[in-house]
Structure 1
């Protein structure tokens, strides 16, 4: 596809995405005002799936989920690479009522923050030290007791393709305290929905779930296993993506 056409389709997608997301967010104020969290969850699922439709129909980007058989039923933690907004949106459509570990600052965003709070997302004050960690663990334990999937991005922020940042200790604390399986995941969304810039080249976004790490490992062994699995799968997925572009 010619560069000009890619840019045009990219701009059309972004206009449609922000326009549609604004309408959905405004509609979500109704169940929010009525204190209907389950309805907010349902709207979030619909919004998540509609993003994939917009990506395919406007930008020519397919969205593929691989390895769902590795995700156990009931409470589990998904520890995923994070490259774009797509990563946080797609989990709303894959899992029923997931609990996403997110930056506390996002709760201050009008409407978005209100909806996250109503859905019981897990906010983390990254400057809060031991008190913030205790709050995160308490909220995560509540989510796990309800059988929810916890979504965490163990590097704490979005990365660029090929970039690797340190893995933060919060994921180890959750693993130790919750004693639930941890499913590593790799993603190549940064090639098609980059951290910076508007270009959305056609192709295939892949979220690849890997075999679960069972509870019970020592902290260092767990962290080493988690990073090894994610980074190995990430390198393979990115190589496949570069070859296809």
Structure 2
């Protein structure tokens, strides 16, 4: 555990230093088209994932890369950790996120979110804000972007009962594009609300795309079923590996 603590400490310090570095490198992109800051964000993501694997003794295994469609897309991912909020970006040409408006007020980092034309949601504004968010999501996706959403809305502990929100089906119907489900077990290695980062094999799988045109209830049932089935399988694989490595499960 002492080694895990030391690795976690080093990684957390280096992760934030790396973030500051890329915020500085990205300054010229304020005068460039959106593609400039998207490139910076993807590069920051790649270096952050690399540092995580190097320092914390984590292997990342990507499965189903050949299933990623080109063009407009809705990406629905399991959400267990902060890891997937940045690690999925490099796999898509024009990644798009819906995020709370408060994040856009963070100096530099928040300004980059605005420059990248992410969708900021004012949670206090009620139904009108949700309608505007839905309209912007539809318009941006139909322009060719890939909207990455977390159907449960917030990070869920590994093994917690699923809690899929109705918003994901509304966005799916509104956008009218293919949905790519994503399963993972990141919460075993970068748990929410914890300082420690644990070793092992982090698995991400891009599952079979779900075509546009399904009814809301049918879509919700299908996307939740495939994501939960695969994520639960990966969680068990990860627990078994951690027990072999350390004699305990990080979940």
Moved more, 201-210 or 42-51: 201-210
- 1:100-111 to structure 2, matched below 5 A, reads 100-111=97-108
Contact 1:97 1:119 in 2 (8 A): no
- Residue 81 of structure 2 is aligned with which of 73, 79, 84? 84
Q: What is the CA–CA distance in structure 1 between the aligned matches of 2:156 and 2:60, rounded to whole Å?
A: 19
- Which blocks of at least 5 consecutive residues in structure 2 are unaligned? 243-251
Say yes or no: does 1:52 pair with 2:27.
Answer: no
The Cα shift of 1:165 comes to: 4.3
Distance in structure 2 (CA, Å) of the matches to 1:129 and 1:190: 31
Structure 1: runs of 5+ lacking an equivalent: none
> Are the counterparts in 2 of residues 84 and 195 from structure 1 also a CA contact under 8 Å?
yes
1:28 maps to what in 2?
Answer: 26
- Partner SS for 1:85: coil
The alpha-carbon deviation at position 100 of structure 1 amounts to 1.1
- Structure 1, residues 51-81: CA drift from partner, whole Å, max 9, x if none? 1211122111122221122221111101011
Distance 1:237 1:117 in 2: 35
Question: Would you say 1:75 and 2:95 are equivalent positions?
Answer: no
Q: How does 1:106-121 map to 2 (within 5 A)?
A: 106-121=103-118
CA distance in 2: counterparts of 1:220 and 1:130, whole angstroms: 21
Does residue 218 of structure 2 align to residue 210 of structure 1? no
Contact 1:107 1:116 in 2 (8 A): yes
- Kept in 2: contact 1:133–1:170 (CA 8 A): no
Deviations 1:145-173 (A, max 9, x none): 22111100011111111113421121111
Cα distance in 2 for residues equivalent to 1:183 and 1:4: 39
How far apart are residue 107 of structure 1 and its match? 1.6
Query: 1-side partners of 2:66 and 2:161: how far apart?
Result: 27
**Length-normalised TM-score, structure 1:** 0.93
